[in-house]
Each structure stands twice: as C-alpha cells, then as structure tokens.
Amino acid sequence: MARAAKLLALLIAALCTAATMANAAVVEHTFNVGGMSISQLCMNSVIYTVNQQMPGPTIEVNEGDTLVVHVVNGSPYPVSVHWHGIFQLRSGWADGANMITQCPIQPSAKFTYAFNITGQEGTLWWHAHASMLRATIYGALIIKPRNGPRGYPFPKPYAEIPILLGEWWNKNVDDVEKDGLLTGLGPAMSDAFTINGFTGEQPSCRGAGAYQVEVESGKTYLLRIINAAVDSELFFKVAGHAFTVVAADASYTNPYPTDVIVIAPGQTVDALMTASAAPGRYLMAAHAFESKTAANPPPFDNTTATAVVRYKGVPDYAPAAMPALPAHTDVVTAGRFYWSMTGLVRRGDPVVPRNVDHSMVVAFGLDQVPCAPEQTKCQGFAVVASMNRYSFRFPDKVSLLEAFFRGVPNVYSEDFPGAPPPVPAPRKVTSVRKVNFNDVVEVVLQSQEYSSALGTENHPIHLHGFNFFVLAQGLGRFDASMKSKYNLVNPQVRNTIAVPAGGWAVIRFTADNPGMWFMHCHFDMHLPLGLAMVFEVLDGPAPNLLPPPPAGFPKCH
C-alpha cells in the first residue's frame, strides 16, 4: 500500500507539473459515495449519492486544468464513475466505464481519478457507470474557456444555471434492475422525473417541493441543461420564454432559436434565455418524448417535472404559468430540433476528415429470445439487444483495457463485423473492432426492427473517448445515395447521438487516442441487454501511447 500511495503521489505531482507548465490549475474533489435519506413523492427512501447530494457536486474547471477526484465507496455496491464526454487523452484508465476500462471500486475501497482536460469547453457531466446507480449518482462537469467568459463565442451571460434532468424510482434502483433481468423485459418504468433533484409539486403529493431560481428582468442566463435520466428522452420548456442554443455536448453550435429543448439521455445542451417576460413566476417543465413505434408499446412515465423561475421581487405565493409541452409522441418537433443544429466552426477547430480508413454499418435493435434458466420471472420470452447481431457480454474477471494492455488471452475477440452479418439470431460475445492510431472511422448507425412486437425507438448512442461529426441523419434505410446529403462543412459535433426510430445517422471521428472505447446505447435498460460494442485503438508513435495503469487501480476480485 505504501508503494501504491507513493506512485499515486508521483502521478498527481506529474499532472500538477504539467498543469503548472500550461498555466492551468489542479482541481481536487473528494466523492464520498454512501446512503442518504430523502423524502420524495410522499415516501421516505434511502438512496445512494455522492456527498449526500442529489444531484451530486458540480465540478467546475478551466480548459487545460487537471482534475483529481478521490472516490471513497461507502456503499454496499461496486461503483465506478464515468466522466461523460471527457476525451481522456492518454488517460483511458480514468474513463470509469465498468469492466471496459476498469474493474469497479469495491465497497469500503477507494480510488483516485486523475486526468487533464485539454481542448474541451462547455457542459459535460459525471455519473456512476455500474448498474442503475447512475439514477442517483450524477452531477455536472463544467469546463470554462481558459481565459474565462471572454472566451465564449456568444455574449457573456449575466449568470449560469445548471439544469440537471433526472429520473426517479420509488424502489431501490439496484432492485429495479435485478427485477428487469429476472423478467427478461428490462426495468420497470420510473415513477417521476426530476429537475435538479426535485419532482416539483406533483398533484398527488403536495409538499414535495420544487427547485427555484431567481432572475432579473432584462438579464440573459446560460442554462446548462443535462439529461441525466436513465431511460427517457425529454422535452423541456420554460413558460413565457424562448432559448438560443449555443452548444451541445460541450461543442459550440451556430445560434439556434427555439422555444423547446429536446434532449436524450447522456446529452447536454447550453441555451441562452433572456428574462424578457412580465415579472412573475414561470414554470420550467420536462416530460418524456416517447418514440417507440411498436404496435402495442409498453407504458411509459407520463409525469411532468416542474421547477420555478421567479422574477426578483415577485412573492413566492404568486401563481406560476405552465408551459405547453409538446405531445409525448411529437416526433416532428423532436426531429426538427435534433436535425436543425449545425456546428460553429472557429479558427483552429478540427475539420471533418475527408479520407476514411474504416467505413462501417452498425445495425442495432431489440429482439425476442427464449427465457434463460436464471430468468425466474420470465414469461414466454426475454428481450435481447445487439449491434450487428453481436450482443455485448461484459467480461467478469478483468477489464478490457487491462486485458488489452497486459495481453491477457481469451478475454475478448477482435472480430466485431463492419456490417450486419446474415445470421438469424444474436450471439452473446465480447468482441471489439480494432483500428490503428489516427485512423478515420465512419459509422452508419442504423436503427433496426428485429421484432414487430418490440418495434423501434430513438436510441441515444454514446461514444467514449471521442467527439464525432454528425454528417447526416434520416428515416428509413440508409443507402449510398444518402452520401450526397453529408454536411462536411459545419456538422454538429457530439458525443451522444439520438438515432431516430427506424432511421439512421452517420458519424465520423479520428481514432487519435489509444485504448478501449465503449460505444453503447445510453438507455441503461439496453446496456445489460447487449446494445454495445468497443473500439480497440492501438498505440501511435510516442507520446501517443497508453501508459501503465495508475497506482491503486481497482481489482476485480
């Protein structure tokens, strides 16, 4: 232990030296994961959070800073923390993807994540990446320009307000996930949505409380909106107010005016809002966007979370106006929002690479299979998910990154197909797609219906370790003629893309970061079902090498 502590100290010292050389800072936090008593929806519950907060602590850094977070696991569950959207340049061990880049932090154990944040600005977030614990273990990660608000490519806002949209279950979320696996149908729907941890004043449960923010007339505010919901896309509006979207997934956009935000799990949206309405109280509200196309879609959480925007000087008891949210199934409004934004191109920004080394089609969706023996509550069939008919199986003895680094045999194969194979049923495998350092990868993400009973839905596909250009998206089947629609000039840049139900999206990225990088659906219910794959990126020339794991790296057993 003494040697591990010494090595960790040396690592942090090295990062600190690098930060100092770059005229940056070292930002340090301690995350104590443990139980917290809470009253929500007329019920008293014990949930697991960071530092007795839901949402957890907001982390603020400047571009170029080094972030050091000491995670102490006082919960009864294994935990890892993913820094969603952070590139982790040559620090893949800190990505926090459970059994992909690390074994989880066991109960009563601790681990320090330390990494530099380079070349990124905007709103990201952090969350648990082990089971459904991310329903309550999450928080904002805000990266400011190195020269402060003067570096924004839009007028400096009067104030900035993180808005974290979440999802709430009255039951222990670990039990919810286990029940979903036993039935073979995935977890039960949530009981409510939340805004900054509060459901708002629910009609059936007065006194639950609501988040409230005070604004001043004429001032402009930057709302940093994060969808931390586990399994739901969301519509978000503020009564009497409109937005100008200026960034998505910590990448600047050309200003996009809208009165509604549509946001999938894992995504972030930065939107300017001017307090230009008559002084009063106005509700911000969020409810589900339900995109399922099945003949008999399952029920969904149709509740609405609310919070209060109160103008300075207006009393708390004044009536509050409610926004008119789109219908839950309004695919037109959702599609218009998702497809209309373009990226803001500034001098020095990465440009779309023209030459492609790997051109892939990844078809994915849900299917029905016979119940497994261990699925003791399963009746008739279970649901399985796959990408190119490979249903991802997590390793259980060593993480993929450690197996990759140490050359551990028989942990994974390198045969993930570049196109859907003509096989009738999905295979449960641990397979990766190997690419060389600096290869350009283009992926057609095709939403596929394998079972008419299950239909299709929007799937938020998240890629760890990289941003990607969204070249095009559409409905139906992708074919070669769609290439004429590619935006190679100012496409959106994202880390999570909502692939439309029964439709497609084309993404392109440069694999300039060695390691094992997860690509998966950010509906947590689909992750244990297998809707995932991994890119294995080989080392490049020095210094583009994956370093050894840090001191105190978690062990699986």
Average confidence (pLDDT) over 388-396:
96
Which pair of tokens denotes residue 537?
A: 């990126």
Which pair of tokens denotes residue 256?
A: 């996009």
Note whether 246 and 308 are same-domain residues: yes
Which of 317, 344, 371 marks a domain boundary?
344
Note whether 334 and 363 are same-domain residues: no
What is the overall mean pLDDT for the chain?
93
pLDDT per residue over 261-271, tens digit each? 999 999 999 99
pLDDT for 202 equals 60
**Where does the pLDDT of residue 293 fall: very low under 50, low under 70, confident under 90, or very high at 90 and above?**
confident
Q: Are 268 and 225 in contact (CB under 8 A)?
A: yes
pLDDT for 297 equals 79
Q: CA gyration radius for the chain?
A: 22
**Where does the pLDDT of residue 206 fall: very low under 50, low under 70, confident under 90, or very high at 90 and above?**
low
pLDDT value at 382 more than 60: yes
pLDDT value at 1 more than 90: no
Q: Looking at the domain assignment, is residue 71 inside a domain?
A: yes
Which of 309, 344, 379 marks a domain boundary?
344
d(CA 289, CA 328) in angstroms, rounded, equals: 5
pLDDT per residue over 90-113, tens digit each? 999 999 999 999 999 999 999 999
Note whether 178 and 120 are same-domain residues: no
pLDDT value at 168 more than 70: yes
Q: Looking at the domain assignment, is residue 432 inside a domain?
A: yes
Q: Looking at the domain assignment, is residue 511 inside a domain?
A: yes
pLDDT value at 10 more than 60: no
For 245, the 3-state DSSP assignment is strand
Q: Looking at the domain assignment, is residue 547 inside a domain?
A: no
pLDDT for 7 equals 45
**Where does the pLDDT of residue 217 fall: very low under 50, low under 70, confident under 90, or very high at 90 and above?**
very high
Q: Looking at the domain assignment, is residue 467 inside a domain?
A: yes
Closest CA to 461 of 302, 233, 298, 256: 233
Q: Looking at the domain assignment, is residue 385 inside a domain?
A: yes
Percent of the chain with pLDDT over 70: 95
**Where does the pLDDT of residue 55 fall: very low under 50, low under 70, confident under 90, or very high at 90 and above?**
very high
pLDDT value at 360 more than 70: yes
Note whether 316 and 365 are same-domain residues: no
Note whether 143 and 156 are same-domain residues: no
**Where does the pLDDT of residue 170 fall: very low under 50, low under 70, confident under 90, or very high at 90 and above?**
very high
Average confidence (pLDDT) over 394-400:
95
Plot region of 310 (φ>0 → left; ψ -120 to 50 → alpha; else → beta): beta
pLDDT for 13 equals 47
Q: Looking at the domain assignment, is residue 417 inside a domain?
A: yes
Note whether 171 and 138 are same-domain residues: no
Q: Looking at the domain assignment, is residue 496 inside a domain?
A: yes
**Where does the pLDDT of residue 204 fall: very low under 50, low under 70, confident under 90, or very high at 90 and above?**
low
| CATH for 316 | 2.60.40.420
pLDDT value at 236 more than 60: yes
Note whether 339 and 291 are same-domain residues: yes
Reduced to 3 DSSP states, what percent helix, strand and coil does the chain have, rounded to the nearest 5? 10, 40, 45
Q: What's at 391, amino acid-wise?
A: S
d(CA 397, CA 3) in angstroms, rounded, equals: 24
**Where does the pLDDT of residue 182 fall: very low under 50, low under 70, confident under 90, or very high at 90 and above?**
very high
Number of domains the chain is built from: 3
pLDDT value at 273 more than 80: yes
**Where does the pLDDT of residue 348 fall: very low under 50, low under 70, confident under 90, or very high at 90 and above?**
confident
Note whether 284 and 260 are same-domain residues: yes
pLDDT per residue over 445-502, tens digit each? 999 988 877 889 999 999 999 999 999 999 999 999 999 999 999 999 999 999 999 9
Note whether 118 and 192 are same-domain residues: no
Closest CA to 190 of 523, 529, 521: 523
Q: Is the pTM of this model over 0.85?
A: yes
d(CA 357, CA 440) in angstroms, rounded, equals: 5
Note whether 320 and 375 are same-domain residues: no
Percent of the chain with pLDDT over 90: 85
Residues spanned by the domain of 327: 152-344
Q: 320-321 and 281-289: which strand pairing?
A: parallel
**Where does the pLDDT of residue 20 fall: very low under 50, low under 70, confident under 90, or very high at 90 and above?**
very low
Average confidence (pLDDT) over 61-83:
97
pLDDT value at 207 more than 90: no
Which of 147, 177, 195 marks a domain boundary?
147
d(CA 86, CA 67) in angstroms, rounded, equals: 11
Average confidence (pLDDT) over 388-409:
96
Average confidence (pLDDT) over 144-166:
94
Note whether 209 and 116 are same-domain residues: no
pLDDT value at 36 more than 70: yes
User: DSSP alpha helices (H): ranges in 307-457?
Assistant: 331-340, 400-406
Note whether 248 and 135 are same-domain residues: no
